[in-house]
Structure 1
Amino acid sequence: MPDTSRTQLKQILATRYAYLVRRLERITGSKEGATDALHETWLRLDKANVSTQVANADAYILGMASNVAIDQHRHERRHAHDDDVDVLLGVPDELADPERILTARRKIDSLKDVLRGLTPRRRAILLAARVDGQLNREIAERFGISLRLVESELSAAMKYCLQRMQEAGDPYTDSRSSGPRKF
């Protein structure tokens, strides 16, 4: 890469740093990961080997930073030591006392009873979304219905379950405890 391109890219990275961090944060999942990747990108720009002028500097920098972030993630994941895993496995579970286990089992049984009160399609949609983690559009394709109908059925199922669990006296069914699905 000619020195002028390298210098221009570094100048763009410096002037648009806050914007690039926000964009990269969506990819890395954290601001720290984004800043680390951009700092490494700054260093790698000195060694970049491209012989033509870059048409879209933001895309070039973000692509390069994304690759850096992936490399960093792989490196961190590779260095999880077996000793650390053994230590974590040796930590006693303080939450697994008999009373908590019994309470959790009762709550699950209560939820199963509530789920039986749903129509078969609503129950299947709710389980696909909340247990299997399927996207609404995947559920719509699976059932051959519209995305809007999936959202409507899912909302109705959630409201029904919340209401029934509250009636059963479950203290943990606060309707403000979770937000809408982002997908």
Structure 2
Amino acid sequence: MSDTSRSQLRHILASRYTYLVRRLERVTGSKDGAADALHETWLRLESANVSTQVANADAYILGMANNVAIDQHRRERRHTHEDDADPQFEQHDELADPERIVAARRKVDDLKEVLRGLTPRRRAILLAARVDGQLNREIAERFGISLRLVESELSAAMKYCLQRMQDPGESFPDSRSGPRKF
């Protein structure tokens, strides 16, 4: 890679650092892991060997950082010794408690009953978004409706389910479970 390309990529990495960390955080699962991968990417840019001009600098840097994160993860896994892992397997798993299993199955049955109370389209939109992981844009195209209507239907379905599933005295903050790409 020419010195000009290297300096341009380093400048982009430095100027868009916060954005790149956020994007990479989804891959690594932590802000620290993303920052470590970007720091290593900065160092690797010095020895990168690309003969042509980079068309999409963000994609190039994120791809390189993604590979760095994968390498770091593999290294960490290799360093985990069997002795370190044994005590983890001997710990009691609270989630395997029969009472919790029965309670969870009841909640699933309750949720199925609540879903039957939704209109067919609203139920289909909710399942497409939360179970199938489709983007709102994809759902809008599938049903031939506007993106705004998908958002409205999804919000109404979530509120309906939350109200019906809520135990007496239990309160839920007005939040959604996890990030959604729109």
TM-score past 0.5 threshold: yes
Aligned identity (percent) is: 58
Give me the TM-score of the superposition, normalised by structure 1. Answer: 0.70
Q: Which amino acid letter does the alignment assign opposite residue 124 of structure 1?
A: A
Deviation at 1:77, TM superposition (A): 4.9
- 2:168 is paired with a residue whose SS is coil
Query: Residue 178 of structure 1: which of 162, 172, 176 is its match?
Result: 176
Q: Which residue of 1 aligns with 2:63?
A: 67
Q: Which residue of 1 aligns with 2:154?
A: 154
Q: Which residue of 1 aligns with 2:47?
A: 47
- Distance in structure 2 (CA, Å) of the matches to 1:127 and 1:41: 39
Deviation at 1:107, TM superposition (A): 1.4
**Post-superposition CA distance 1:38-91 (Å, at most 9, x none):** 433433343345678x799xx64x455323312223324545459588876665
With 64-73 and 157-166 compared, the bigger mean Cα shift is at: 64-73
With 116-125 and 93-102 compared, the bigger mean Cα shift is at: 93-102
Deviation at 1:9, TM superposition (A): 4.6
Q: Which residue of 2 aligns with 1:122?
A: 122
Q: Which residue of 2 aligns with 1:137?
A: 137
- Distance in structure 2 (CA, Å) of the matches to 1:145 and 1:100: 40
* Unaligned segments of structure 1, at least 5 residues: none
Larger Rg: 1
Q: Which residue of 1 aligns with 2:95?
A: 95
* Unaligned segments of structure 2, at least 5 residues: none
Structure 1's 6 and 139: CA in aligned 2 closer, same or farther, altered over 3 A?
Answer: closer
- Maintained 8 Å contact 1:137/1:147: yes
- Maintained 8 Å contact 1:40/1:68: no
Q: Does 1:163 pair with 2:159?
A: no
- Maintained 8 Å contact 1:128/1:134: yes
- Maintained 8 Å contact 1:129/1:136: yes
